[in-house]
Amino acid sequence: MPLDARALRASEAGRDVPHADARVTCDDYEQVMASPDGTDTLLLIESVKPRLRGVSHAVAFVAALLGCIQLALMPARGPQYLADLVFGGSLVLMFGVSATYHRFTWGMDAYRRIQRFDHAAIYILIAGSFTPMATLDTTGDTSLYLLCLMWIAALTGAGLTLLGVHTSRGLRSALYVALGAVATPVMLRLHQVIGGGRVAWLVVGGVLYAVGAVIYARRWPDPIPTVFGYHEIFHLLVVAAAGVHYAVILDIVGSA
């Protein structure tokens, strides 16, 4: 049966800890880690943690690091060059923090601290992804205003998260999607600059992010809870979305 407070107390009392089975959801790991009990529960935590938790983001971190180096070597210069590096840096930050947070087992206090950085890094990625797109839009001042608004909102959200302001999973997902939606006016004009095909792929990336946020909020589907659950699907969609956006930016820079 799903692991609960009784299992936690049993582990701390030195009694046998039940092993995870097909009925244990991958969310049980997060519930155990978020419990107020001490680090004596780490064996229990290991028994419910999905085996592939954090793997995709660990691989994506290496890819993002190489991708950021590639962007640094591209011929773009000026504001666009800096904007591309901001995007690359936000990918490295988010995937690096996420892999560190999800792949390893931490003590309770460390878990809570790293969790804050993990959630805060998502705000930075959203603003970082919008930065090169806003820089490409030279048709007016609206993109600059929206870029400033995006970064103010992202830094505010990240700062509050790091300070420990707690929000529910559903509200956090909604905030991520709403922040990304700030880019809509720029996306509607960007086809004049980079072409409709590239804009379509940017929209595909945005949809992948949004679908991932819904899966994260609903905690479904959860196909193989002890190995590959809903959180792993969410992570893969984030990797796919980031990869699509990176490919578009690299194509634009390479053809300039």
CA atoms of 217 and 209, how far apart (whole Å)? 12
Going by C-beta distance under 8 Å and a sequence separation of 6 or more, which residues neighbour residue 172?
A: 119
DSSP one-letter code for 229: -
- Kindly state the average pLDDT of the residues 147-156: 97
Q: Show the 3-state SS of 158-178.
A: HHHHHCCCCCCHHHHHHHHHH
Measured over the CA atoms of residue 142, residue 145, residue 148 and residue 149, the dihedral's sign is: negative
The answer to whether residue 39 scores a pLDDT higher than 50 is: no
Phi, psi of 15 (to 5 degrees): -85, 170
**Residue 68: is it exposed, middle or buried by C-beta count within 10 angstroms (0-12/13-18/19+)?**
buried
Evaluate whether 8 touches 44 at the Cβ level (below 8 Å): yes
The answer to whether residue 6 scores a pLDDT higher than 90 is: no
Instruction: Provide, for the chain, the percentages of residues in helix, strand and coil under a 3-state DSSP scheme, each rounded to the nearest 5.
Output: 75, 0, 25
pLDDT digits (tens, 9 = 90+) for 52-71: 999 999 999 999 999 999 99
- Kindly state the average pLDDT of the residues 234-255: 96
pLDDT digits (tens, 9 = 90+) for 70-90: 999 998 889 999 999 999 999
- Amino acid occupying residue 28: D
